Amino acid sequence: MTAYFNLQFENGLLHFINQVKLPGCVEYVQTDSFDRIAEAIERLEIRGAPAIGIAAAYGIALSQKNGISGERFAAAFGRLARTRPTAVNLFWALQRMRNFYNDHSAGITFELLLAEAVAIHTEDIHHCEAMGINGLPIFTKVSNVITHCNTGKLAVGGEGTAFNVIRTGWLNKMVAHVYADETRPLLQGARLTAFELSMNNIPYSLISDSTAGFLMKQGKVDLAITGADRIAGNGDSANKIGTYGLAALCKFHNIPFYIAAPSSTIDRSIASGDEIPIEIRSEDELLCLNSQRIAPENARAYTPAFDVVPAGLISGIITEEKLHLPPYNFV
């Protein structure tokens, strides 16, 4: 049993784990401020595409806690929409809350908006369960799995996307070992995925991102699975920087590469990954370590938070609906 949670609404407050302090400190923040939720998303205290969307939905509801105000709703919507550009779940959840607000404008209340946010959260829990089940067919034998970034409970409202596929495979005795990329430069794999694998008692080894190819050459990897922050109509998928390289290595070594994400991650308004906006993070995330400069003072850094995996490198996309196989057509 896992003894932690990511997001929880209780007694009028959103409770969330501060992921920046993991794994050394398990600290929970409580707030009823949409601005504090927006700050948490920007600071990566709350991260993971589905979790960002859920938190934003609660933020919209909380903006109306002290009375219905169209002006406050618009302010909350705009503030939350500015937090992170790549994860489409954020905009999906915000638009769903705005549609609900407009559809019930005559009798809208905080309680109704909160119920809609809870519904988004509850749906994600069920979607995570379904993804775990729908992903079981990718394990054609007891497998060693490699993954990148963090896709467990810390990234969603339920048990995870790609992580829950791995977890479900482990519970069904189809996963022998997991290799978790450290995921530079913010080390989501080292800090968060390793934490969650440990909490679930799943055997794993943490590796540097650059070790993946060597493992594959040795025949130690049977399949790869990651999450996604936005999936285009043709199946091109944006995920944490380094995922494209992992997928290309899998192609070279003839290893299946899978994506797991809820259908809310599919952006049917765009035809290909060329249209996905890529967030550029602060240069300090690469130039500094623990707030101490590790590069020369005149060094500059290029720090995209995501890259895009072409659909041709993806063996299957697992959603709560089913395991989608190529060619993909989500338009």
Residues belonging to the active site? 229
**Residue 304, preceding bond cis, omega within 30 degrees?**
no
Amino acid in position 73: F
Question: Whole-angstrom Cα distance, residue 79 to residue 294?
Answer: 33
- Quickly list DSSP for 33-95: -HHHHHHHHHTTSS-SHHHHHHHHHHHHHHTTTTS--HHHHHHHHHHHHTS-SS-HHHHHHHH
SS3 of 116, please? Answer: helix
CA distance 29 to 252: 44
User: Tokens for 129?
Assistant: 């369960």
> DSSP label at 25?
-
Question: Cβ–Cβ contacts within 10 Å for residue 10, how many?
Answer: 8
Q: Starting at the edge strand that comes first in sequence, how are the strands of the sheet with 237-240 ordered? A: 230-231, 237-240, 306-309
Beta strand 204-207 with 28-31: parallel, antiparallel or unpaired? unpaired
**Do residues 257 and 310 touch, judged by C-beta distance below 8 A?**
no
47: amino acid identity, one letter: R
**SS3 of the chain: helix, strand, coil, percent, to 5:** 40, 20, 40
Q: Which residues are within 8 A (CB) of 58 and not within 5 positions of it... i.e. 6 or more apart?
A: 7, 9, 14, 37, 114, 117, 121
Beta bridge partners of 16: 7, 29
